[in-house]
Amino acid sequence: MELFDPDTWPARPLVMGIVNVTPDSFSDGGRFLDWERAVAHGLDLVREGADLLDVGGESTRPGADPVAPEEELERVLPVIECLAAEAGVPISVDTRRPNVARRALRAGASLVNAVGGLADPSLTNTVLGEGAGVCIVHMQGEPGTMQEAPSYGNVLAEIVEFLRDAASQARDDGIDPDRIWLDPGIGFGKTLDHNLQLLANLDRIAELGYPVLLGASRKRFIGSISGDPVGERVPGSLAALSAVRDLPRAVVRVHDVAATRQFLMVEHAIARREVPTWERPDGSLHRLSRPE
Ligand code: HH2
């Protein structure tokens, strides 16, 4: 699949649109709990320029309660089935559970967004068995308590080491290296200072040789800096994109796809003094369906 072919990576970050199928999501307040509305939202994000969609049924925001496995499956499966059939872009499943990952991959997803990392060997086996890709995310602690007292000796060195070890373990277990993405897990057991150190040094993670995924969209650290509530953090989310500007292969996980695409196109135009096209990894050209 083209998504995992390093040679077809566009000259810009890939944009992963967020489709939350959760009633308690911190940023969109569960507005898309109804699965048909979640599907419609995903299709809107593709029209706005998303290169892939990330579907999640369990909120991992700080303080969130875990969801029963059957409930998580009931939330995500119909949405993934529909989007895999209709969206025309790859789908990832945002989950910590091997069974949810397996069912989602069989329903048409092609990437596991492993927000708890690959500590559970059956998650690795699932990725391997289904020939999927995996994004390995660093998280200190559990969502319910991870923000109580995050602590590191050297946050950057520890997370680079964690991601390096996790990626080489995944390779040793047989996962195709082209199908591994790495993510420092902004806000997942990190203070503001930890997040800023990571954002300023993503090149250290990129040096490991894998695509780097950044999930900063509307997150709490933006509010800690500017004082703005979650519904008013689009400008801060765009500013955070500067953290991936010079990375060879980056993916940005965002709620606001149209704003992100516009930001990245203008940034690209200035850097290269040319008007870019918005080409997807499969070579197809995105065209805005809302002409001026
Ligand atoms: N952040 C969230 C969820 N999934 N996946 C990756 N790879 N990286 C992230 O930083 C990341 C993630 C939390 O953000 P959000 O989806 O907006 O909130 P919630 O999961 O509570 O709906």
Least Cα distance to 132 among 52, 223, 250, 240 occurs for 52
Nearest CA to ligand 1 atom 14: 61
Check pLDDT > 50 for residue 26.
Answer: no
pLDDT of residue 187: 96
Tell me how far the alpha carbon of residue 187 lies from the centroid of ligand 1, in angstroms: 9
Nearest CA to ligand 1 atom 3: 60
What is the percentage of the chain residues whose pLDDT exceeds 70?
A: 94
Nearest CA to ligand 1 atom 2: 60
Residues facing 17 on adjacent strands: 53, 254
Instruction: Give 58-87 as a DSSP string.
Output: S--STTPPP--HHHHHHHHHHHHHHHHHHT
Give the angle subtended at the CA of 160 by the CAs of 159 and 163, to the nearest 5°: 85
DSSP 286: P
Tens digit of each residue's pLDDT (9 = 90 or more) over 177-209: 999 999 999 999 999 999 999 999 999 999 999
Tell me how far the alpha carbon of residue 56 lies from the centroid of ligand 1, in angstroms: 8
For ligand 1, what atom is nearest to the CA of residue 213?
7
Distance CA 288, CA 286 (A): 7
- pTM for the structure as a whole: 0.94
Q: What is the mean pLDDT of residues 15-21?
A: 96
Q: How far is CA 210 from CA 4, 63, 96, 120, 226, in A?
A: 11, 30, 21, 21, 32
* Of 26-30, 35-39, 135-139, 217-221, the least confident: 26-30
Least Cα distance to 156 among 192, 195, 211 occurs for 195
User: Comparing 280 with 48, which gets the higher pLDDT?
Assistant: 48
So which residues are the catalytic ones? Answer: 219, 253
Tens digit of each residue's pLDDT (9 = 90 or more) over 99-140: 999 999 999 999 999 998 999 999 999 999 999 999 999 999
